[in-house]
Amino acid sequence: MIVKNRRVTFLIGGEAGDGIFASGNILSKTFMHGGLHVFSTNEYISIIRGGHQWYSITVSESPVFSNRYKIDFLIALNREVPIIHIDRLEKKTSFIIIDERDKSERIVDFNIISLPMYDILKKRNAKKVMRNSIALGALVGLVKYDISILERVYMNTYSEDIAEKNISLAKMGYNYVLEKYPHYLKKIFFSSNISRSQRIFCTGNEAIAIGAIASGLKFYAAYPMTPASSILHFLALLQKDLNIVVIQPESELAAINMIIGAAFAGVRSMTATSGGGFSLMTEALGFAAMAEIPVVIVVVQRPGPSTGMPTYTSQGDLRFVLHASQGEFPRIVLAPGDPYEAFEIAYYSFNLAWKYQLPVIILSDKFLAESGWSCDKFIPPFPIEEGKIIRDVYNGREKYKRYKITEDGVSPFAIPGVQNAIVKANSNEHDEEGSPTYDPALVNSMVDKRFKKQELLKREMLRYKTIKYYGDEYPEKIIVSWGSLKGPILEAINILGKNKKIGFLQVIWMEPFPRDLVKNILSKVGENDIMIIENNRTGLLNSLLNEYLHLDVKKKFLKYDGRPPYPYEIIKFLEG
């Protein structure tokens, strides 16, 4: 059944509180350490106990970009799970690992691996939540995987006693399957190309956190908000080792104003939130722009409007972040599509913010934020750049002026405490020294000064991959998309194969918009052969194409039920 480059998908389903995500992570890492490529993702509703949730893992010997609809192996932690996912199971070939008592009439068409999980728990005096360890062991046995890798992951993850308890349960599941279902055993290949120890299993949120750390983040303030919270949790955990300050203040209003204070004082700072929290940051975003204070804001999208569906995914906030806050000012908006890009963008967003003294927004989404990839370790692509910062002594001949009008619009940026410089920042329109001004000519110069940075940015952009193009060099059709949809689209294109001649244009820089590059790529095909795929209802990237390229893409696949598209849906769209 399992061959090279094919994908195999595992899904663990159960209730909130069943430890689905923890065991999903364990299993993902287990496959990763065996040398396989892994992509994992989850779905859950915004409650703490009860309610169905699942974690799916797709593995392959080649890189995996997204999850699949079809499930090869299902771990069902209760009786409902197979029923809920029945359409995703393949008769005859799909396996279901389930407790003996939870078997039912309705699943007889599938390969059932039933175990007396509750009996084993009782024997071992283990808590109910631990039955997923039995199931993991059973699964590892079933796919003839090396149980010692699973053991190692347990040991890495938990304290010794907890790890051992889980391992012993896993072994019971493992042995049970080897004994009772020898005829069913399926072999999953181990890849040998990749040294096992060099890989990490990383979510989009973690990749952003790492990029920020690598870029010198020293002050992080955020108010929890799904699906951005795991950045806070991850950084909070790391604060000791990395000596960074991590604060959870009273609100998003406080969070963004704190990081503005930190950046004004010379410290690289960041916050992260989702749309609702970003709404509360809107006013301070303009403050940072007017006062020319470099901040990095991560916005992880979920379906709106308002509270919407907190634990689902969406790309509905693009226009919002592009235009948030009163007045006009340059900003940078970057949308990563996978952990590598998330790392790199987080890394260089600080360089951009500090060199150009403006706010940078990283626009992510739940599907990227909470999905996990097996990745190579990230390496910063270029050094840390600070631009015109003055950290110790100001040596200028004239009095220091925070908003000095320079050729390129960027003023020397002394921080408070610098010798010979008194630094005055202002949210009002101001003169060079930072005093309020109403003089029309001066106002014009100051507005122009800020906008000059846009010119600089047009040049700076050339250093970065503001778009990416994948697929055929002479395509017949081009898909345009952004953010986390990159994964499912790449999967779909891979499945369709080369001779379909499909190209895929991923837009990464949303502002400044890489108009010419996009135009250039799209000129490869006729207007009717361009297609857009987005996780929103109105086609927000398409609205940018309308605005910047005067192109209204007619063929659209817009999904707005909170779920990312599956590769098969994309294929259906492409073919339909």
Partner 1 sequence: MGSIYLTNKKNVWCPGCGNFAILNALIKALERLNLKPESVVLVSGIGCHGRINQYVNVNSIHVIHGRVLPVATGIKISNNRLTVIGHAGDGDAYAIGLGHLPHAARRNVDLTYIIHNNMIFGLTTGQVTPTTPKGMRTRSTPYGNIENPLNPLLLALVSGATFVARGFAGDIKHLIYLFEEGIKHKGFAFIDVLQPCVTFYNTYSYFRERVYRLEETDYDYTSFKKAIAKATEWGERIPIGIFYKIRRETFEEQLFQLKDKPLVQQEIRINLEKVYKILS
Ligand X SMILES: Cc1ncc(C[n+]2csc(CCOP(=O)(O)OP(=O)(O)O)c2C)c(N)n1
Interaction residues for partner 1, span 360-399 (CB under 8 A): 377-378, 384, 391
Q: Does 48 bind ligand SF4 (CB under 6 A)?
A: yes
Binder of residue 220, out of ligand X, partner 1, ligand SF4, none (CB less than 5 to 8 A by kind): none
Q: Which does 275 bind (CB under 5 to 8 A by kind): partner 1, a copy of itself, ligand SF4, none?
A: a copy of itself
Out of 73, 223, 348, 356, the only residue in the binding site for ligand X (CB under 6 A) is: 223
When CB distances to ligand SF4 are compared, the closest residue is: 48
User: What does the alpha-carbon distance between residue 475 and residue 494 come to, in Å, rounded to a whole number?
Assistant: 14
Q: Which is nearer to partner 1, 263 or 334 (CB)?
A: 263
Is residue 26 within 8 A of residue 157, CB to CB? The reply is: yes
**Residue 58: its H or E element:** strand 52-60
Q: Does 278 bind ligand X (CB under 6 A)?
A: no
Pairing of strands 52-60, 8-15: antiparallel
Please identify, using beta-carbon distances, which residue of 82 and 562 lies nearer to a copy of itself. 562
Q: State yes or no: residue 233 binds partner 1 (CB under 8 A).
A: yes
Q: CA 419, CA 383: separation in Å to the nearest integer? A: 27
* Binds 129: which of a copy of itself, ligand X, partner 1, none (CB < 5-8 Å by kind): none
What backbone phi and psi angles, to 5 degrees, belong to 157?
-90, -40
List the single partner that 108 binds among ligand SF4, partner 1, ligand X, none, CB under 5 to 8 Å by kind. none
User: 142 with 181: CB under 8 angstroms?
Assistant: yes
CB of 176 to partner 1, least distance (A): 29
Q: 168 or 543, CB closer to a copy of itself?
A: 543
Q: Which residues, 6+ apart, have CB-to-CB distance to 229 below 8 Å?
A: 222
- Contacts with partner 1: how many residues (CB under 8 A)? 91
Decide whether 241 or 250 has the Cβ nearer to ligand X: 250
Contact stretch for ligand X (CB under 6 A) within 52-60, 191-199, 222-230, 434-442: 222-230
Structure token pair of residue 204: 């989009």
Q: Binders of ligand SF4: how many residues, by CB under 6 A?
A: 2
- By beta-carbon proximity to partner 1, the closer residue of 63 and 304 is 304
Pick the stretch among 78-86, 142-150, 219-227, 329-337 that binds partner 1 (CB under 8 A): 219-227
Under 8 Å between Cβ of 51 and 75: no
Give least dist CB 311 to a copy of itself, A.
Answer: 8
Q: Which is nearer to ligand X, 63 or 276 (CB)?
A: 276
In b/e form, how buried is each residue of 536-549, taking b as 16+ CB within 10 angstroms? beebbbbebbeeeb
Please list every residue from 300 through 319 that binds ligand X, using CB under 6 A.
307
DSSP symbols for 122-182: HHHT--GGGHHHHHHHHHHHHTT--HHHHHHHHHHHS-HHHHHHHHHHHHHHHHHHHHH-G
Spatial contact of 463 and 366, defined as CB atoms under 8 Å apart: no
Measure the CA–CA gap between 256 and 213, rounded to whole angstroms.
Answer: 18
353 binds, among ligand X, a copy of itself, partner 1, none (CB under 5 to 8 A by kind): none
Residue 338, C-beta contacts closer than 8 angstroms, at least 6 positions apart: 65, 204, 368, 373, 484, 486, 487
Contacts of 269 (CB under 8 A, 6+ apart): 217, 218, 219, 220, 221, 258, 259, 260, 262, 263, 295, 296
State the binding partner of 48 from a copy of itself, ligand X, ligand SF4, none, CB within 5 to 8 A by kind.
ligand SF4
Query: Using CB under 8 A as the criterion, which residues of the chain lie in contact with a copy of itself when the complex forms?
Result: 45-46, 274-276, 278-280, 282-283, 286-287, 289-291, 301, 303-312, 314, 316-317, 319-320, 322-329, 426-429, 436, 438, 440-441, 443-444, 447, 451, 536-538, 540, 543, 546-548, 550, 552, 560-563
Separation of first and last alpha carbons in the chain: 29
225 binds ligand X (CB under 6 A): yes
Listed in sequence order, the DSSP H helices in 215-297 are 229-242, 252-264, 275-291
Residue among 21, 95, 12, 98 nearest 56 (CA): 12
Which of the listed partners (partner 1, ligand X, a copy of itself, none) does 278 bind, with a CB threshold of 5 to 8 Å by partner kind? Answer: a copy of itself
Span interacting with ligand X, options 31-39, 114-122, 275-283, 514-522, rule CB under 6 A: 275-283
Selection from a copy of itself, ligand SF4, partner 1, none that 378 binds (CB < 5 to 8 A by kind) is partner 1
With CB cut-offs between 5 and 8 Å by kind, which of a copy of itself, partner 1, ligand SF4, none does residue 231 bind? none
Centroid of chain to Cα 115: 36
Question: If binding is defined by CB under 6 A, does position 280 make contact with ligand X?
Answer: yes
Name the binder of 317 from partner 1, ligand SF4, a copy of itself, none, CB < 5-8 A by kind: a copy of itself
Query: By CB under 6 A, which span of 60-68, 107-115, 219-227, 233-241 interacts with ligand X?
Result: 219-227
**Smaller CB distance to ligand X: residue 281 or 517?**
281
Nearer to ligand SF4, 49 or 397 (CB): 49
What residues does 467 pair with on adjacent strands?
507
Q: How is residue 190 annotated by DSSP?
A: -
d(CA 326, CA 405): 23
Which residues on adjacent β-strands are paired with residue 374? 201
Instruction: Output the CA torsion sign for 333, 338, 339, 343.
Output: negative
> Least CB distance from residue 74 to a copy of itself, whole Å?
20
Q: How far is the CB of 321 from ligand X (least distance, A)?
A: 15
Look at residue 49 and give its three-state secondary structure: coil
| Of the candidates 341, 254, 250, 349, the residue with the CA atom closest to the CA atom of residue 297 | 349
**Residue 248 contact partner, candidates ligand X, a copy of itself, partner 1, none, CB within 5 to 8 A by sort of partner:** partner 1
Which helix (H) or strand (E) segment holds residue 534: the answer is strand 530-534
Q: How far apart are CA 60 and CA 63, in angstroms?
A: 7
Smallest distance, Å, CB 47 to ligand SF4?
A: 7
Residue ranges binding ligand SF4 (CB under 6 A): 48-49
Residue ranges binding ligand X (CB under 6 A): 223-225, 252, 276-277, 280, 307
